[in-house]
Amino acid sequence: MATTHFSGPVESTGGFTGDVTGDVTGDVVGVIRLTTYTVATAPSASTSGAGTMIYVSNGAAGSPVVAFSNGTDWLRSDTRAAIAAA
């Protein structure tokens, strides 16, 4: 697979697959925008796969939080508890 370099923002309507790399040190440079869901609209954590991240606008007892999939559940990044609207 070829490597493509971009100097500006890159947007995808269908998501990205593979590794995201950044500058020569391997750091991601710039903004990473996560898809926003509510607890009710979050996709299946098992289908999304372990390591996937989402932004849940009400996942921390009604407050926003970044969550990650462990392959089974969406877990809050701040407490590792499962996301919940209340």
Q: How many CB atoms lie within 10 A of CB 82?
A: 15
The CA distance from 73 to 50, in Å, is 9
Phi, psi for 45 (deg, rounded to 5): -65, -35
pTM of the entire structure?
0.70
pLDDT in tens, the chain (86 residues): 566 777 766 666 666 665 566 566 667 667 788 999 999 999 999 999 999 999 999 999 999 999 999 999 999 999 999 999 98
Q: Which residue, among 14, 46, 16, 48, has the nearest Cα to 32 in the 3D structure?
A: 16
CA distance between the termini of the chain: 45
Q: Is 47 strand, coil or helix?
A: helix
